[in-house]
Amino acid sequence: MRIESRDQFEALRAEARARDDAHLRKVLVCCGTGCLATGSKQVAEAFAREIEARGLDVEVGLRVTTTGCHGFCERGPLVVFQPEGILYTKVKAKRVAEIVETTVVGGEVIPGLLYKNPVDDQRIEQYREIPFYKHQVRVAMRNIGRIDPTDIMDAIAHDAYAGLAKALFGMTPDEVIEEVAVSGQRGRGGAGFSTARKWRSCKAAPGERRFVLCNGDEGDPGAFKDRSIMEGDPHSVLEGMIIGAYALGAHEGWIYVRDEYPLAVVNLQIAIAEARKLGLLGDDIMGSGFDFDIRISRGGGAFVCGESSALMRSLEGKIGEPRAKYVHSTEKGLFDLPTVLNNVETWAGIGAIVHHGGAWFAAMGTEKSKGTKAFSLVGKVKNTGLIELPMGTTLRHIIFDIGGGILNDRPFKAVQTGGPSGGCVPEELLDLPVDYEKLTEAGSMMGSGGMIVMDDRTCMVDVARYFLAFLTEESCGKCVPCREGLTQMLAIYDALIEGRGAEGDIERIERLARAMQLGSLCELGKSAPNPVLSTLRYFRSEYEAHIRDQACPAGICRALTAYEIVPDLCDGCHLCFKACPTDAIEGTVKELHVIHQDACISCGACFDVCPTQAIRTFPKAELALEEVV
Amino acid sequence: MAQQPCVDLARTEEILAAYPPEEPSLIQVLQDVHRAYNYLPCDVLMRVAEALDVPLAKVFSVSTFYKAFSLEPQGDTIVKVCTGTACHIRGAGQLVEELQRQLGIGPDQTTEDLKFTVKTVNCVGACAMAPVMIVGDKYWGNAKPVKMPRYLAEGGDEDEN
């Protein structure tokens, strides 16, 4: 069936809702990349088999739905029961029969499968009562985890394409742009440029042919919100792009997806095919006379292609080298024609903004940063996963209330935001409300929403070096300040972590950083020194310890760190013995264990497994003073 | 470059037929070629350059710019260790070292029997389960060096993790 009018769309929507209502009872199995890795596909299949075998599908209208990412990936595979709202974590396929018997048929909860709150060890039954979910407000991720991403009717039942119908039949293109302007939405890819301003600038550019692009080249390590949106609710991205194209008068669109996201490509392809079949994409959309189609382009695995001009070169089949910023891509973008490129999360929000109105979106957030923002909360935090919150939420709330605090209750040290272009925010700024301006003031940036929490076992010199090594590899090499600046800085950092640091190194790093900020061609190079400068700003003493004392205060840099077992604390559990990759540990069960320094490679594997914290680190320099054991 | 085996160009022709013969198709064609042959053979690149009317030098520049492409034959199984930030601070480096010990190869190297190629990748977006390793198509979350033999064993136990 093809939708030929607004009435037909409304009829389809009613049909989709009726079908959804007929399945009052649902088993939602998360099939995002995270849960798939822990075997959720087998769990979903087991549920489907078990329910069919018992005839429950017909009898009580029970349906198994495989959804996109619920965000709580660490606890996967996740299974939600509707309408009860019960969440089971770490569900194994072999327990499915028992779950169907006890919970689905018997109506009893299996306590062992419920989420255990790490704060007070209480089991929590209800999905929405879990702190990780309770504080979230979802706009871009509104349907993720609720719908089957490969079933367009499921999406339509949950308001997909309702904003599009409203735009096509009730609004002029300029009214659509005005509504987006009212929402105050800013680009979710990192820089935070106003969406409406970008659109207006493109619309004002002369020419008939123009493009609407979606940046799904989510390259920041530690960020995966775009992956989850493309996998879990691809229709929200398509709807946003169609509305954008209508507002701009564009007829061709591309989604540029990272090569590392195979499931996102598959789900987007299915969504595009289904939308075309219903007449929601392609020629004469919903019978409105407006034509627009979308193609998918898989990236080639280059971080720099997340930069707008590099992405467009890549779409043209060329190498992804950025060009100078004075040429605006809204005027001369893809194939030198006017182009709007927005991030996945930006597009995913557009449908909801048009559907609910710009004022609804603008009511959330802070003065200059409106609405909600998706973050991936990862690293040394108890509840890792994907969250969406109003702008202006404090880091403390995010890390301690939603994240449940630091893994193993170790001390918090810093949170890294903004990927390789961002920086590390220290403990004294934990009450910082998160928005574009505040993070930039703190020397970091919003970036694509990665939040990597670090504890005291994280060396800030090593973290800065990590990003430098990443960027050195990913720099496209077109301009000298970025290419050479990174290489030279990395050489200094290599010396620092190996104990070859010299007085004056910090000043050399700062001089190089300034040159890169001033001289690099694209934002990637200009922002490349951010991780370096922010760690220097907040953790300078750690740098000084590396240089002056040849010591790594966090006990991470291997060349500077030695490990030993504190005799009083060792209970002889033998775990370190098994974990040691070089057989440097000697000892038998229930006896004191000893580390042989000549065989130890300072990898820290023993430290991580020791349940009694009997292993301590100390500067290797002290070893040289004693006789080597 | 070492002497490369002769390759069957018929598959290249099939791939080329699916795309318009112009420069914007280049990356997509190379991706399909890479998937079909497990690397970008020299003969194929010459044929692609000719078919898309792109200078061979440009084809090589694209082939070497993007990380997804290799000009050397790859192992049957690609072992990827995610070295994104979350994986880095949760011990991805130790996984790379363990692979070096077990397979005798470092990142971007292939075992002599062409069974394994080890690669490090910048974040696969599964950060909540860091550190992550991908053996073939199988993702392993919270990966530990001591479990490496099991990750490398064919198939792996689906229910374990």
User: What band does B158 get if pLDDT is binned at 50, 70 and 90?
Assistant: very low
Over residues A223-232, the mean pLDDT reads 92
**Closest Cβ opposite residue A221 in set B65, B85, B90:** B85
Question: Searching chain B, which residue's CA lies closest to the CA of residue A420?
Answer: B85
Tell me the per-residue pLDDT of B84-129, one tens digit each, with 9 for 90 and over: 888 888 889 999 999 999 999 999 999 999 999 999 988 887 888 8
User: What band does A118 get if pLDDT is binned at 50, 70 and 90?
Assistant: confident
Tell me the per-residue pLDDT of A353-369, one tens digit each, with 9 for 90 and over: 999 999 999 999 999 99
Distance, in Å, from the CA atom of A152 to the CA atom of B153, rounded to the nearest integer, reads: 39
CA A157 to chain centre: 27
User: What band does A521 get if pLDDT is binned at 50, 70 and 90?
Assistant: very high
Residue A178, pLDDT > 90, answer yes
Distance, in Å, from the CA atom of A486 to the CA atom of A472, rounded to the nearest integer, reads: 6
CB contacts, 8 Å: B122 with chain A: 219, 221, 303, 470, 474
- Interface residue B49 vs chain A (CB under 8 A): no
Question: Searching chain B, which residue's CA lies closest to the CA of residue A317?
Answer: B24
Tell me the per-residue pLDDT of A122-169, one tens digit each, with 9 for 90 and over: 899 888 888 888 989 999 999 998 899 999 999 999 999 999 999 999
- Interface residue B85 vs chain A (CB under 8 A): yes
User: What band does A434 get if pLDDT is binned at 50, 70 and 90?
Assistant: very high
- In Å, how far are A30, A561, A610, A616, B106 from A565, measured between CA atoms? 43, 14, 10, 6, 31
Residue A182, pLDDT > 60, answer yes
pTM value is 0.92
Share of residues in chain A with pLDDT > 90 (%): 76
Over residues A11-15, the mean pLDDT reads 96
What pLDDT score was predicted for residue B86? 85
Considering only residues A244 and A84, tell me which one the structure prediction assigns the higher pLDDT: A244
Considering only residues A136 and B6, tell me which one the structure prediction assigns the higher pLDDT: A136
Residue A173, pLDDT > 60, answer yes
CB contacts, 8 Å: B94 with chain A: 581, 603-605
Here the tokens at position A212 are: 């609407």
What pLDDT score was predicted for residue A264? 94
User: What band does B21 get if pLDDT is binned at 50, 70 and 90?
Assistant: very high
What pLDDT score was predicted for residue A36? 85
Tell me which residue of A242, A241, A213 sits closest to A340, measured CA to CA.
A213
Q: Which residues pair with A43 in a beta bridge?
A: none
Residue A627, pLDDT > 60, answer no
* Distance in Å from the first CA to the final CA of chain A: 79
Over residues A362-390, the mean pLDDT reads 93
User: What band does A8 get if pLDDT is binned at 50, 70 and 90?
Assistant: very high
What pLDDT score was predicted for residue A152? 96
What pLDDT score was predicted for residue B160? 42
Helix (H, G, I), strand (E, B) or coil at A30: strand
To the nearest whole number, what is the mean pLDDT of chain B? 88
Q: Which residues pair with A372 in a beta bridge?
A: A390
At residue A255, φ and ψ (nearest 5 deg) are: -115, 120
**Closest Cβ opposite residue A94 in set B65, B146, B159:** B159
Considering only residues B1 and A128, tell me which one the structure prediction assigns the higher pLDDT: A128
What pLDDT score was predicted for residue B91? 87
Q: What is the ipTM of this complex?
A: 0.86
**Closest Cβ opposite residue A219 in set B26, B27, B122:** B122
